[in-house]
Amino acid sequence: MKTKKYLRVAALAAAGSLILFGGCGTGGETSGSPSADVEPPVSAGLVAPGDLIAVSLPWVGTQNWAEANELFAKSIEAAGFKAAVQAADNKVPNQQQQIDSFVEQGAKVIIVGAVDGEQLGTVLENAKVAGAVILGYDREIKNTQAVDGVVQYNAFGTGELQAEALLEGLKANVSPDGPWVVELFAGGPADPNAKLFFDGAMSVLQPLIDAKTITITSGQVEFTQVATADWENSKAQSRMDSLLAGNYSAGKGPDGVLSPNDGIARAIITASENAGIKNLPIVDGLDAEDESVQWIRDGKQYATVAKPTQPMIDKTIEITQALELSKDLPAGTSVRSNGVKDVPLFELTPVIVTKANVNEMFPA
């Protein structure tokens, strides 16, 4: 799939990144006589051109992961390395086996988009013993020393943007100052980003809930109550069906719904349409999937938060190339504890997309 994320939004997200790493350049000869003061590098890096760089992704069931599956191999090979890219079908044992296989193949860097960030410690520790550098991709890896860094968009900040987009839509389309009736959805509990997205959003929404400017009619406000197992759209649509049937009169629904991603946003909107609701709720999203970008143009979905795939892959490759010259990773933009270790984060900045800027971000 040729994604629209290759366009202006990718450039904006890359510009929002707080740190850039230089790629490995070829050594050039200087003019004139050699100087005795010029010394060769003290030590080589951890990787070399032609080394195997391996990638284990959780699945290819959403547009962003399908893009990563396609783009990683091309980007790794363009950087002069060998590539091995696999997806785990959202099954932890599959991902564990993939990582073990990468170690057997001699991978120098293993990039992991974790199915479950808390169940990879043993296989990653084995990979570290074998000498591999471990980079988390998009999702944090928890409770293990065997992770060197994580490349992602700021997850807590993404949640803040989702809540801000929801409030913007409520103010513009329902009432400027409230009160508003809202329901909450969150992502898959096994994905550590899901809780960070939710916590970021609630840091914005909770003061308004406390002030009764926002009412949660169902009373479901805890992450465990609103999480969507495995990020499955069908489960989100079933829950929205139940919320409407159990808490709202016929043809009525909430003013807005917090949604953790675009697939779930479309499921929420579809459930609302099926229930005969004419004034569809204001719904945010995440990932700027092609279908949701069109729904924003059409006025069905209010907003999404764009986290384009290519800049995140580029950042991962830049870190890998830096290891051609050094045994240490470049400095991250921030550090976060994974439960047992402070892990460097290499964070990029996401972008809110609404009807007001959708054509700028994604020219038709």
Dist CA 147 CA 338 (whole Å): 9
Residues of the chain with pLDDT under 70: 1-44
**Helix locations, 84-232, DSSP H:** 92-104, 121-129, 155-173, 192-210, 223-226
Fold of 155-306: Rossmann fold (3.40.50)
Residue 287 backbone dihedrals phi, psi, to 5 degrees: 100, -10
User: What is the value of pTM for the model shown?
Assistant: 0.85
Hey, what are 335's tokens?
């550090």
Hey, what are 324's tokens?
């051609």
Q: Parallel, antiparallel, or unpaired: how do β-strands 133-137 and 109-112 relate?
A: parallel
Dist CA 108 CA 130 (whole Å): 9
Write out the residue limits of the CATH 3.40.50.2300 domain(s) in the chain.
4-22+45-154+309-350, 155-306
Domain range 4-22+45-154+309-350, its CATH number among 3.40.50.720, 3.40.50.2300, 3.40.50.880, 3.30.540.10: 3.40.50.2300
* Whether the Cβ atoms of residue 19 and residue 331 lie closer than 8 Å to each other: yes
Question: What pLDDT sits at residue 280?
Answer: 97
Question: What pLDDT sits at residue 66?
Answer: 97
* Whether the Cβ atoms of residue 8 and residue 363 lie closer than 8 Å to each other: yes
